[in-house]
Amino acid sequence: MEGLKKDVIRHVVSSLGSDYASKSAYNYYNALALAVRDRLIDNWIKTQRSYYDEKAKRVYYLSLEYLPGKSLMNNLHCLGIYETARKAMSDLGFSLEDLAEQEWDAGLGNGGLGRLASCFLDSMATLGIPGYGYGIRYDYGIFHQVIEDGKQVEQADNWMRVGNPWAYERGQHLFPVRFFGEVKNWTDEYGRLRHTWTAGDTVLAMPCDMLVPGWDNHHVINMRLWSARSDVEFDLDFFNTGNYLGAVEEKIFDEKISKVLYPSDQIEEGRELRLKQQYFFVTATIQDILRRFRKKHQDMTELPQSVAIQLNDTHPAIAIAELMRILLDEDLLDWEVAWDICVSTFAYTNHTILPEALETWPVSLLERMLPRHMQIIYEINARFLREVERVARSEDCGQLCHRDLDHLKQRVSLIQERPIKSVRMAHLAIIGSHSVNGVAALHTELLKARVFDDFQRLYPQKINNKTNGVTPRRWLWSANQPLSRLIASHIGTGFVRNLDELTQLEPLAADPAFREAWRAAKLENKQRLQAYIKRKLMRELHTEHLFDVHIKRIHEYKRQVLNLLHVVTAYNRLRHGQAADFTPRTVFFGGKAAPSYFMAKRIIHAINAVAATVNADSRVNDKLQVVYLPNYCVSQAERVIPATELSEQISTAGMEASGTGNMKFALNGALTIGTWDGATIEMAQAIGPELLFIFGMREDELVSLRQHGYNPMLYYHGDEELREALDMLRSDAFSPGQHGLFAPLVDNLLHGGDRFFVLADYRQYLGAQQDVGRLYLDQEEWTRRSILNAARMGFFSSDRAISQYAREIWDVAPMAGLQNG
């Protein structure tokens, strides 16, 4: 402890240039972070060296998004110096919790996909898998959300301003990135046609490394994020032409590439700068991968034995064309050889089946920005369609007439003709990879049977399932110390790295003393949340209420509106005195809406409007409260999830690819109210469906409802309570003086086809909520179920997920000889 204290003081003075006597929390947080980083860097260097020494096969996880959140507490826990640090900082006059608050969340992602990437890096580090995360260091991460007059207002997330003590910027290792220009043809010595892409604009990619430690194992992996740097200052000609200001303007223009994360989740915006971001990040990453590979290898055909590249959705899929370009134009390999290398190296994970989230890029844009890549994509497509024809003809699938074949080719082509001629990035990713995986069992089945059914017939081995998982380090141990300590006192700490050990809790569910202790841990977390809400929102929570929580991105398919309709109905019952047996509850909502997503923003407004009305109504507000948690982010989730008793997972069946929040809640002892969707299905199977509150129509039922003609008006007319709730929303009951404010929401349900079947599931949802309320009154039974939920969550560790990727997709093994403990 004395060593750590000395290091902290030294950093305050010599790294931060401050007086150690001036007790600034900001300085002491940064100094502590630097002292922790000092303890990671030796192991990071040893880890990296061991990969070379053992010629280990490496995994590269390519993702446009990461959501690491805050690093301090997690890193202290991984290093096993949490207690030491707590005491050291307390000696210096600080509470560790307060210091941790100084750190800004690294919010370099939108939601589930980005957070999954961060859980996966944690698991690779903990399992000792030679892995790297590659991404972009956005100057501005996901916007900061404030709620003003009930509406979302976006503020820039200037997270870099406060500095980042965790990162190593490596300004000396720059990689060139080219855009535009043209392609020249030439003939090689064997008379083969060759191509060279000649420079248009050049930008530089600067690596910025964040260390990711494993749990108590000395293994530290790297998350390398690229930042755009202008090449202007490296090219003196720019300045020597006398156009100094012009040169500086150009520099600013170039550096725009990594300026901001695109804040839309599952809705494509198709902006030119976004494509630039994708290629910028991809080419720098591939160059870095090949630089490392070429240190020990000359023969490019050995690449798939040494390197596995996982594409996190299609966002980095241009990597397939980029690797082809390098192998063809720089290494001068033949097409077939190059293509084999690519397919054996790449694998692709799909995270959504919503059609509006499937990426396409206009051919005209690609031809201009990446002319050589567009040529390569055309060639991939031509060869692929010939192959399709060959397979289709050879296959004994009845008499395949030309019409069918033409249709098949149109459907699977990399190029879509309408509405504008574009490249389908998912098709490029599928064809260029040896593995395509979904993220939960149902999602994968839907990929096979619906979204990519043609590809499933063409390549029956390619599509596979890897159900998501979450890291128990952050989401149980670090976020929920009261519960973790209780668990550890009964079954030891092995569950932190082997989550299956939680099954040892099962017999304890029958033990009243253990149940009481379990409830005490929950209460402690509820009180902690209560204090936080008081500080941040100046509101008093009732900790004896059932804490009912719905936090995730705001999206119509996630159906926050369904939850809101339940709240309005409960409000009406209470007002009308029809709810004598109502179980008091506080309903929490949280989540960001894409700034361009009108409907999602209106949903936020409606939630806040209902909240204001309900909370101000003294007839009901001792029994029902609604809280909107502004700026939902990773660190907020860490506070809210441990305090939650009811987890809302109510997406339209078939629409939520997996969900990962669902797992975090159950792991922390919340019961789930949910639809038969995503990984919630597998959770129900692992836990026992009777221990969750499952309701609503299933995916196949919705398909047939849609086919037979779904008429939301029938539900409106047939259900008095539903009608009352919708009519109130449409009138100005929640928006005094602003008649029609929420009419778009209601009209969308009643006259817009209710694409997400909110009305179809309303009545069953109410029934399930009734069951929830009733069970909560029986605290012994509630607690028993809560314990069994947590005890059966072992499968949903990201360690299990990553082990499956490693074995079944990447063919990589953990590093031997890792020191544990």
Catalytic residues: 351, 552-553, 558, 660, 664
Q: Report in angstroms how near the CB of residue 657 gets to ligand 26Y at its nearest.
A: 4
Among residues 105 and 288, whose Cβ is nearest to ligand 26Y?
Answer: 105
Among residues 677 and 754, whose Cβ is nearest to ligand 26Y?
Answer: 677
Work out whether 352 is an interface residue with ligand 26Y (CB under 6 A). Answer: yes
Which range, of 72-80, 99-107, 260-268, 505-513, touches ligand 26Y by CB under 6 A? 260-268
Work out whether 556 is an interface residue with ligand 26Y (CB under 6 A). Answer: no
**59 and 51 in contact (C-beta within 8 Å)?**
no
* Binding residue count for ligand 26Y, defined by CB under 6 A: 22
Which residue in the block uniquely carries the two structure tokens 């890291």?
471
Among residues 71 and 468, whose Cβ is nearest to ligand 26Y?
Answer: 468
Q: Report in angstroms how near the CB of residue 552 gets to ligand 26Y at its nearest.
A: 9
Which range, of 106-114, 448-456, 503-511, 702-710, touches ligand 26Y by CB under 6 A? 106-114
Which range, of 104-112, 287-295, 374-382, 667-675, touches ligand 26Y by CB under 6 A? 104-112
CB atoms within 10 A of CB 369: 20
* Binder of ligand 26Y out of 145, 217, 264, 583 (CB under 6 A): 264
The CB-nearest residue to ligand 26Y is 112
Which range, of 264-272, 596-604, 622-630, 731-739, touches ligand 26Y by CB under 6 A? 264-272
CB atoms within 10 A of CB 91: 12
Peptide bond into 419 cis (omega under 30): yes
Q: Which of 691, 564, 586, 567 is nearest to 640 (CA)?
A: 586
Q: Which of 291, 405, 292 is nearest to 52 (CA)?
A: 292
Work out whether 439 is an interface residue with ligand 26Y (CB under 6 A). Answer: yes
The Cα 796–Cα 657 span in angstroms is: 15
Among residues 351 and 785, whose Cβ is nearest to ligand 26Y?
Answer: 351
Print the binding letters for residues 205-244 with ligand 26Y: x by CB under 6 A, - otherwise: ----------------------------------------
Q: Report in angstroms how near the CB of residue 238 gets to ligand 26Y at its nearest.
A: 35
Interhelix angle 758-777/560-575, rounded to 10 degrees, is 60
Q: Report in angstroms how near the CB of residue 65 gets to ligand 26Y at its nearest.
A: 7
Q: Report in angstroms how near the CB of residue 729 gets to ligand 26Y at its nearest.
A: 26
Work out whether 359 is an interface residue with ligand 26Y (CB under 6 A). Answer: yes
Q: Report in angstroms how near the CB of residue 265 gets to ligand 26Y at its nearest.
A: 5
Q: What is the DSSP string of 217-275?
A: SS-EEEEEEEEEEESGGG-HHHHHTS-HHHHHHHHHHHHGGGSB----SSS----HHHH
The Cα 586–Cα 497 span in angstroms is: 34
Q: Which of 52, 36, 29 is nearest to 212 (CA)?
A: 36
Q: Report in angstroms how near the CB of residue 601 gets to ligand 26Y at its nearest.
A: 17
Among residues 141 and 678, whose Cβ is nearest to ligand 26Y?
Answer: 678
Q: Report in angstroms how near the CB of residue 438 gets to ligand 26Y at its nearest.
A: 9
The Cα 488–Cα 305 span in angstroms is: 41
Work out whether 122 is an interface residue with ligand 26Y (CB under 6 A). Answer: no
Q: Report in angstroms how near the CB of residue 111 gets to ligand 26Y at its nearest.
A: 5
The Cα 430–Cα 438 span in angstroms is: 12
Work out whether 797 is an interface residue with ligand 26Y (CB under 6 A). Answer: no
Q: Report in angstroms how near the CB of residue 114 gets to ligand 26Y at its nearest.
A: 7
The Cα 409–Cα 419 span in angstroms is: 18
| DSSP assignment letter at 577 | T
* Binder of ligand 26Y out of 169, 268, 454, 501 (CB under 6 A): 268
Among residues 111 and 773, whose Cβ is nearest to ligand 26Y?
Answer: 111
Among residues 609 and 655, whose Cβ is nearest to ligand 26Y?
Answer: 655
Work out whether 445 is an interface residue with ligand 26Y (CB under 6 A). Answer: no
* Binder of ligand 26Y out of 216, 265, 322, 754 (CB under 6 A): 265
Rounded to the nearest 10°, the torsion over CA 439, 767, 794, 111 is 40
By CB under 6 A, the residues from 641 to 670 that bind ligand 26Y are: 656-660
Among residues 468 and 478, whose Cβ is nearest to ligand 26Y?
Answer: 468
**681 and 656 in contact (C-beta within 8 Å)?**
no
By CB under 6 A, the residues from 715 to 774 that bind ligand 26Y are: none
Alpha helix (H) residue ranges in 692-797: 699-707, 712-718, 720-730, 743-750, 758-777, 779-791
Among residues 266 and 435, whose Cβ is nearest to ligand 26Y?
Answer: 266
Among residues 204 and 440, whose Cβ is nearest to ligand 26Y?
Answer: 440
Work out whether 266 is an interface residue with ligand 26Y (CB under 6 A). Answer: yes
Q: Report in angstroms how near the CB of residue 605 gets to ligand 26Y at its nearest.
A: 23
- Based on the number of CB atoms within 10 Å of its own CB, is 90 exposed (0-12), middle (13-18) or buried (19 or more)? exposed
**756 and 559 in contact (C-beta within 8 Å)?**
yes
- The enclosing H or E element of 69 equals strand 66-69
Interhelix angle 272-296/318-325, rounded to 10 degrees, is 50
Among residues 206 and 257, whose Cβ is nearest to ligand 26Y?
Answer: 257
Q: Which of 376, 374, 355 is nearest to 363 (CA)?
A: 374
- If DSSP codes are grouped into helix, strand and coil, which group holds residue 148? strand
Among residues 593 and 620, whose Cβ is nearest to ligand 26Y?
Answer: 593
The Cα 443–Cα 465 span in angstroms is: 8
Half-sphere exposure of 315 (CA within 13 A, CB side): 31
**314 and 428 in contact (C-beta within 8 Å)?**
yes
Query: b/e map of 263-291 (b: 16 or more CB within 10 Å)?
Result: bbbbebeeeeebbbbbbbbbbbbbbbbbe
Strands 671-674, 646-649: pairing kind: parallel
Q: Write the CB contacts of 251 (distance below 8 Å, at least 6 apart in sequence).
A: 230, 232, 233
* Binder of ligand 26Y out of 107, 112, 181, 773 (CB under 6 A): 112
- Based on the number of CB atoms within 10 Å of its own CB, is 744 exposed (0-12), middle (13-18) or buried (19 or more)? middle
Which range, of 185-193, 301-309, 351-359, 379-387, touches ligand 26Y by CB under 6 A? 351-359
| DSSP assignment letter at 26 | H
By CB under 6 A, the residues from 671 to 700 that bind ligand 26Y are: 678
Q: Report in angstroms how near the CB of residue 545 gets to ligand 26Y at its nearest.
A: 29
* Binder of ligand 26Y out of 5, 144, 325, 351 (CB under 6 A): 351
Q: Report in angstroms how near the CB of residue 109 gets to ligand 26Y at its nearest.
A: 8
Among residues 181 and 661, whose Cβ is nearest to ligand 26Y?
Answer: 661
**166 and 71 in contact (C-beta within 8 Å)?**
yes
- If DSSP codes are grouped into helix, strand and coil, which group holds residue 358? coil
Work out whether 110 is an interface residue with ligand 26Y (CB under 6 A). Answer: yes
Residues lying near ligand 26Y in the complex (CB under 6 A) are found at 110-113, 116, 264-268, 351-352, 357, 359, 439, 468, 656-660, 678
